[in-house]
Each structure stands twice: as C-alpha cells, then as structure tokens.
Amino acid sequence: MAIKRIVALLCVFPFFSVFTYAQREETNFDRNWLFARYGLQADGSRIEESNFPQMPQFDDKAWRQLDLPHDWGIEGPFRSDLEGYTGKLPWRGIGWYRKHFQVSEVEKGKRYFLDFDGAMANAEVWLNGIKVGERPYGYISFRVDLTPALRWGEENVVAVRLNTEKLGSRWYPGAGIYRHVRLVKTEPVHVAQWGVFVTTPQVTDERATIALNVKLQNHRALAADCSYSVAVYELDVDDCTEKKGGFL
C-alpha cells in the first residue's frame, strides 16, 4: 500500500491583553560545566563528599571543567578486579556537576526548564541551593522547572548529584550526565512537554483520518483564553513539505 506521509505543524495562540504567539526556545546547555568525583574513585580509594556542594557560594574553583555529555566510568582505567560484565571499568561512584549561568532580567515572567536526556543515576538537581527535581532511573530523560528558584539578572548556579555506588547491572550502565542537556524557555502558557500526540486511526490509499491531542499548560494565576491551529503538509520523497493539506 502506498501511503502518503504527512507532517503536522502546530501553532498555539494564547489570548491575553495583547494577542501573541506562544514562544518556545531551546539553548544547548552542554558547555562549561564543573565536575568533581567523590565516593569510590577509579583506583578503588574513596573520597568523602564536600559539605554542601549544591549551595551557590560553594568554592568550585578546583573542580574540573568539561563539556557534556560526560561519563566518568568510561574514562577508566580498566581494572582486572572489577566485574567483567560491566566492562571492568570503575563506574561506581558519586559525581557532582555545577554550572554558572545568567538569565536577563527582561526575561522575567517566562518559564525556564532544564531537559536532561540521560543522567546515571539517582539524579538530584538544585538551583541556587533549592532542590528543583530528581530522577532515580538513569535510562530515561527528565525535566526540572528552574523558574521558582531563578535569580533574574544575577548569577545562577545549577548543581547535579549522581550516585552509582549501589547500582547493580548485567552490562556497562554508564555514569554521569551521559546525554545532552537543554535550557528551554517558554511563555507562561505553552504546549506541554510531549504535549502533542498524533495518530492515524484510518488510512487508505486515498486518504487518512488524523486524530490529534494537544495539551496546554498555564502557569499564570488566572485562567487563559487559548486556542491552537494545526497545518497539515504532505511530504515528498526527500521529506520536504510539498503542499499544504489544510488546517485542523
């Protein structure tokens, strides 16, 4: 069966005192992190954690500077006394990551999130000493909302603690913030993360029925009058938009 491919382009129109488009902007957040390893070390020794590395005033000048993704276990060295099924690599330990950044005061009123594509494991996240989220499972992405703890127009410090010391695995699991991180800015009213779900319950050679579900989030104190429209385009053999099929 020859099935035409389609793509749905979503626009959200929130209505406040002024008509605006809802914005969503992503910034790569991989650069210029600081890292320190505690607990079990690569050589089998142990270093106890420092006091309060999550606090913004903590002295991190001696920490190692690096870019993400980062896996402290894959750095080795290989050790013959470690398990073969996890690659004989020293991946068990406690890792702390910190990053200093600023958000302009003109952005006050926007929502800011951090999206982690993967962090192994038992992740805990602080912003300016305030815990903003956690995710124990290391094989899944997760989001934290930075907005309540942001300091507009000042320096902010995000800190992430990971702990793999008590994990068990039948394969090499990795360690550290081993996937990309993105800083996401939205309007107070926006399409939720993973908020668009499209299915085609009926498909023939000539036509398809599209079922579309859109979830909006409102972080304002009052209800917002919102609507959205979806433009449907046909894709050609190179996955380029060929012609518009209509609006939903």
DSSP string, 32-97: SEEEEEEEE-TTS-EEPPPS-TTSTTS--TTSEEE-SS--TTTT----TTS-GGGTT----SEEEE
Query: Can you give the pTM of this predicted structure?
Result: 0.85
Residue after which a domain boundary falls, among 133, 156, 186: 186
1 within domain boundaries? no
Please check whether residues 182 and 193 belong to one and the same domain: no
Range of the domain at 242: 6-23+189-247
Question: Do 63 and 97 meet the contact criterion of CB atoms below 8 Å apart?
Answer: no
Please check whether residues 65 and 158 belong to one and the same domain: yes
Using pLDDT thresholds of 50, 70 and 90, give the confidence band for residue 18.
Answer: very low
pLDDT of residue 192 exceeding 70, the answer is: yes
pLDDT of residue 12 exceeding 50, the answer is: no
CATH number at residue 100: 2.60.120.260
AA identity, residue 184: V
79 within domain boundaries? yes
18 within domain boundaries? yes
Least confident of 21-25, 62-66, 82-86, 126-130: 21-25
Residue after which a domain boundary falls, among 186, 205, 235: 186
Please check whether residues 61 and 141 belong to one and the same domain: yes
Residue after which a domain boundary falls, among 186, 202, 231: 186
**Predicted local confidence at residue 195, as pLDDT:** 82
Please report, for residues 6, 44, 201, 229, 248, the alpha-carbon distance to residue 209 in angstroms, rounded to integers and kept in the order given.
11, 60, 6, 17, 11
- Average pLDDT in the 159-185 region? 96
pLDDT of residue 40 exceeding 80, the answer is: yes
**Predicted local confidence at residue 196, as pLDDT:** 84
